Amino acid sequence: MSVELKKPTLKDFKGDTSTWCPGCGHFSVMAGLQRALVNLGIHPHEVITVTGIGCSSKISEYTRTYGFHTIHGRALPVAQGAKMAAPEMHVIAAGGDGDGYGIGAGHFVHAVRRNIDLTYLVMDNSIYGLTKGQTSPRSQHDFVSKTTLKGNKEYPLDALSIALANGATFVAQAFSGDVKRMSELIEKAIQHKGFSLVNIFSPCVTYNKVNTYDYYRDHLVTIDEPLPTREEAIRVLKEHDGNVQGLLFVEERDDFQKQLGIDWKMRDVQNGPMDEAMIRALEKEFM
């Protein structure tokens, strides 16, 4: 007998009580994600949220889905493994700019080029929030913090161009001050078959007094249609110093699992008896 599930609501996704500072941009990212899931009719038990470490990474505790709060910079390896094990689940990887583009940068590039079907939300406040305000890989040149007292002498990492240059099939950027647009972009990202990146400007109201809500309202340029080529998307990013919001580039390409031609789940390989066909498929791919 099949049971008809009622439509999911925002209430279904309410998890633990948050300890974020009042006004933190991460609240809006969580609202945007939950709204996107509800709009798509996805239930909490159909989602795995995997995060690293940081204020942003607490989203896996505050959103009621299956969750894995991993270690610093390791959300993507775990999220990719989860998708391989359970391809029927929607996998959301999430975390901060420090987590994803600092300690996790190596994993980021490889996840981009591997194109496993999951959505990566980076809550970019251009600072390390959880550890109380150090300069991050996304902090602006000359940004002053307790770790760069005379101003940051490095230039911010351009994550979207890195993703575009390495074959990303879905690259978008959003802003916590525009939840409607952000939520629509997250919806599209979840629907995209392959690795989808949404970098979200999500102000840290406590430690970053430069990249504020007003800063993004003054600087952000909106892209209404995806750019026709990845080269053009990189050019537009450079032209506006990265300050664009919208879906920059999308490409339909078979994801990793489709290319491998595997229709079994890693989970079955571990837990159940392996049949002849499965053994042959494994031999073909990995030996």
Ligand X SMILES: Cc1ncc(C[n+]2csc(CCOP(=O)(O)OP(=O)(O)O)c2C)c(N)n1
Binding residue for ligand X, selected from 120, 128, 201, 249, defined by CB under 6 A: 128
> Using the rule CB under 5 A, is 96 a contact of Mg ion?
yes
State whether residue 60 is helix, strand or coil: helix
Burial (Cβ within 10 Å: 0-12, 13-18, ≥19) of residue 247: buried
> Using the rule CB under 6 A, is 210 a contact of ligand SF4?
no
Per-residue x/- marks for ligand X, 51-90, CB under 6 A? --xxxx---------------x------------------
Contact predicate 226/247, CB 8 Å: yes
Per-residue x/- marks for Mg ion, 107-136, CB under 5 A? ------------------x-----------
Give CA angle at 37 (166, 108), nearest 5°: 20
Question: Which of the ranges 130-138, 154-162, 252-260, 267-275 carries the binding residues for ligand X, by CB under 6 A?
Answer: 130-138
- Rounded CA-CA distance 72/95 in Å is 9
> Using the rule CB under 6 A, is 156 a contact of ligand X?
no
CB of 9 to Mg ion, least distance (A): 30
Please provide the DSSP assignment of 9-42 as one string: -GGGGB-SPP-PPTT-THHHHHHHHHHHHHHTT-
Contact predicate 255/230, CB 8 Å: no
Binding residue for Mg ion, selected from 97, 117, 184, 187, defined by CB under 5 A: 97
Per-residue x/- marks for ligand SF4, 167-206, CB under 6 A? -------------------------------------xxx
- The two beta strands, 90-96 and 196-201, are unpaired
Where do contacts with ligand SF4 occur on this chain (CB under 6 A)?
20-21, 24, 26, 55, 125, 129-130, 204-207
